[in-house]
Amino acid sequence: MEQEWQDQTNRMKGFHTQAVSAGDPPDPATGSIGLPIYPTVMYAQPDMETFKEVISGKKKGFFYTRASNPTFQAVEAKIATLAQGERALVFASGMAAITSTFLALVSSGDHIVAFQDIYGGSFNFLKNELPRFQVETTFVETGDLKALEAALRPSTRVIYFETPTNPMLKVLDIEKIVEIGKRYKILTVIDNTFASPFNQKPLNMGVDIEIHSGSKYLGGHSDILAGVVIGSQELMSRIQYIRYVYGGIPDPHTAWLLNRGIKTLGARMERHNQNGLQVARFLQNHPKVRKVFYPGLEDHPQHEIARKQMRGFGGMLSFEVSGGAEAEKVVRHLKLFHLAGSLGGVEGLVTIPAATSHRRMPKEEREKLGITEGLIRLSVGIEDLEDILEDLRQALEWA
Ligand SMILES: Cc1ncc(COP(=O)(O)O)c(C=O)c1O
């Protein structure tokens, strides 16, 4: 019955339908509509023969939650359906998902090429941690495909990127990066956190592995840390093995919250997209704002690429006021936007990247990327647009 129901759901193509139903049909034992949570470490086996078969993977089943858990499997099936990948894996955090993926794909002597505008934690792992295992990363200017190709070596195993990027909202042409990866037989891996699987489907464009921090749009309520990796069965079994060895799994309650959050992902993203675009347009016309960075604006340098590969442009945007002191005044006077270093929740958030996430980067390097002291990053929430605009209007008077 479960399989039949799952097949039926998978045939329903709409994102919202799948978000609600894929992966977690009513519990066959009780009819429970809510997904059961399995708060267990281990699973009793009927006999030694079965135990041996389950532990060696010859027979489907569970033996220890660090390997898998029915609550994980439900949310993994839902995510795989939404991202249109063969299989998904859940992790304890976005960083657990990212580090486990690299640890599964590279060995001593291997090389990685990454675009330089990536999440600070990923940059730190590639630049400072992997070299301890003789794995080197070359960082190339974001979007420069010639530089990407020139940086490839016979030992390159992975091309790693994010789009849209943080905090400048640059957009990279996914199909062109995939074309280079395929030509040189190098795996392409994307951190798709900013777009979410609602706005962007990298696996359909040929990317090998898609990663998310589930702490952002997927969870959606700023109350869980989680991570997700999606890709082919073959790649996911390698990554699942690493998850088992290094132990970066979430607890079943977190997996359950992730599942519940994802049920409204499409509904929330539609609102993030609408509010994001309207806030960008408002800021673009504001006399105190020098520049707005949002892929949905017609004058964004990669607007056409964004239109080609994204269904909506999301709730993330940055804008520049005249200097650091002005930016701090604006942030201090915002009431609806909370000053906090995350994104993707239902509530509006604000940060000044030069003073927070990018504070360790030398000023010159930072400014080359466009991250000036007057740059403010917003994660636009799902509140009423008029309330959001009113908050920005009054705070900008102080700039
Ligand atoms: C784009 C991106 N990727 C990955 C991460 C890491 O995720 P987590 O905090 O869940 O480990 C973050 C966190 O801010 C992020 O913004």
Of ligand 1's listed atoms, the one at least distance from the Cα of 216 is 10
According to the 3-state scheme, what is the secondary structure of the chain?
Answer: CHHHHHHHHHHCCCHHHHHHHCCCCCCCCCCCCCCCCCCCCECCCCCHHHHHHHHCCCCCCCCECCCCCHHHHHHHHHHHHHHCCCEEEEECCHHHHHHHHHHHHCCCCCEEEEECCCCHHHHHHHHHHHHHHCCEEEEECCCCHHHHHHHCCCCEEEEEEECCCCCCCCCCCHHHHHHHHHHCCCEEEEECCCCHHHHCCHHHHCCCEEEEECCCCCCCCCCCCCEEEEECHHHHHHHHHHHHHHCCCCCHHHHHHHHHHHHCHHHHHHHHHHHHHHHHHHHHCCCCCCEEECCCCCCCCCHHHHHHHCCCCCCEEEEECCCHHHHHHHHHHCCCCEECCCCCCCCCEEECHHHCCCCCCCHHHHHHCCCCCCEEEEECCCCCHHHHHHHHHHHHCCC
Write out residues with Cβ below 6 Å of ligand 1. Answer: 93-95, 119, 121, 162, 166, 191, 193-194, 213, 215, 225, 227, 342
pLDDT score recorded for residue 7: 57
Residues 244 and 122 in one domain: yes
Residues 225 and 273 in one domain: no
Q: Tell the residue nearest (CA) to atom 6 of ligand 1.
A: 94
Number of other CB atoms surrounding residue 152 within 10 Å: 18
Q: Residue 155: give the domain boundaries.
A: 2-263
318 CB contacts (<8 Å, ≥6 apart)? Answer: 167, 168, 169, 292, 293, 294, 353, 375, 376, 377, 378
Q: Give ∠ CA 252-257-261 in degrees, rounded to 5.
A: 145
Of 241, 263, 285, which residue is a domain's last? 263
Q: What spacing in Å lies between the alpha carbon of 213 and ligand 1's midpoint? A: 5
Number of domains in the chain: 2
Q: Tell the residue nearest (CA) to atom 10 of ligand 1.
A: 94
Q: Which of 140-149, 243-252, 268-277, 361-370 has the lowest mean pLDDT?
A: 361-370
Q: Tell the residue nearest (CA) to atom 7 of ligand 1.
A: 94
Q: What spacing in Å lies between the alpha carbon of 28 and ligand 1's midpoint? A: 35
Q: How confident is the model at residue 378 (pLDDT cuts 50, 70, 90)?
A: very high
pLDDT score recorded for residue 9: 56
Residues 244 and 291 in one domain: no
Of 263, 292, 319, which residue is a domain's last? 263
Q: How confident is the model at residue 362 (pLDDT cuts 50, 70, 90)?
A: confident
Per-residue pLDDT tens over the stretch 210-260: 999 999 999 999 999 999 999 999 999 999 999 999 999 999 999 999 999
Dist. CA 279–CA 143, nearest whole Å: 26
pLDDT of 8 > 60? The answer is no
- Percentage of the chain beyond pLDDT 70 is 97
Of ligand 1's listed atoms, the one at least distance from the Cα of 194 is 1
Is residue 76 within 8 Å of 158, Cβ to Cβ? no
Residues 306 and 208 in one domain: no
Q: Give ∠ CA 218-318-217 in degrees, rounded to 5.
A: 5
pLDDT score recorded for residue 1: 43
**Average pLDDT over the chain, rounded to whole?**
96
Phi/psi for 82 (5° steps) reads -65, -35
Rg (CA), the chain: 22
Strand 136-140 relative to strand 111-115: parallel, antiparallel, unpaired? parallel
Is residue 277 within 8 Å of 294, Cβ to Cβ? yes
Residues 83 and 108 in one domain: yes
Q: What spacing in Å lies between the alpha carbon of 214 and ligand 1's midpoint? A: 8
Q: How buried is residue 121: exposed, middle or buried, by Cβ count under 10 Å (0-12/13-18/19+)?
A: middle
Residues 373 and 330 in one domain: yes
pLDDT score recorded for residue 355: 93
pLDDT of 5 > 90? The answer is no
pLDDT score recorded for residue 365: 85
Of 216, 244, 263, which residue is a domain's last? 263
Q: At what angle do helices 385-396 and 265-284 cross, to 10 degrees?
A: 40
CATH of the domain at 224: 3.40.640.10
Site to substitute for ligand 1 among 193, 209, 351, most atoms within 8 A of C-beta: 193
Residues 318 and 174 in one domain: no
Site to substitute for ligand 1 among 102, 117, 119, most atoms within 8 A of C-beta: 119
Residues 169 and 300 in one domain: no
Residues 199 and 279 in one domain: no
Q: Tell the residue nearest (CA) to atom 16 of ligand 1.
A: 119
pLDDT of 200 > 60? The answer is yes
Per-residue pLDDT tens over the stretch 10-40: 556 899 999 999 999 999 999 999 999 999 9
CATH of the domain at 343: 3.90.1150.10
Per-residue pLDDT tens over the stretch 76-87: 999 999 999 999
What strand order describes the sheet that includes 338-339?
Answer: 291-293, 316-320, 375-379, 349-351, 338-339
Residues 270 and 349 in one domain: yes
Q: What spacing in Å lies between the alpha carbon of 48 and ligand 1's midpoint? A: 42
Mean pLDDT calculated for residue range 263-290: 98
Residues 80 and 104 in one domain: yes
pLDDT of 185 > 80? The answer is yes
pLDDT of 4 > 60? The answer is no
Q: Tell the residue nearest (CA) to atom 2 of ligand 1.
A: 119
pLDDT score recorded for residue 95: 98
Residues 311 and 215 in one domain: no
Q: What spacing in Å lies between the alpha carbon of 118 and ligand 1's midpoint? A: 10
